[in-house]
Amino acid sequence: MFGKKSKKPSNRIDSLIGAGTRVVGDVHFRGGLRIDGEVVGNVRADGDESSTLVLSEHARIEGAVSVTHAMVNGLVNGPIVSSEFLELQPQARISGDVVYNRLEVHLGAIVKGQLEHQNAAPRAIELKLASGS
pLDDT digits (tens, 9 = 90+) for 24-50: 999 999 999 999 999 999 999 998 789
Determine, yes or no, domain membership for 102: yes
- Total domains in the chain come to 1
- The pTM assigned to this predicted structure is 0.82
Determine, yes or no, domain membership for 113: yes
Determine, yes or no, domain membership for 125: no
> Beta-carbon neighbour count of residue 73 at 10 Å?
20
**pLDDT tens-place string over residues 77-102:** 999 999 999 999 999 999 999 999 99
Give backbone dihedrals phi and psi of 104, rounded to 5 degrees, phi first: -125, 125
Answer for the pair 51, 39: CB distance below 8 angstroms, yes or no.
Answer: no
| Per-position DSSP letters for 8-66, written without gaps between them | PPPSS--EEE-TT-EEES-EEESEEEEESSEEES-EEE-SSS-EEEEE-TT-EEES-EE
Determine, yes or no, domain membership for 20: yes
Domain range spanning residue 30?
15-117
Determine, yes or no, domain membership for 34: yes
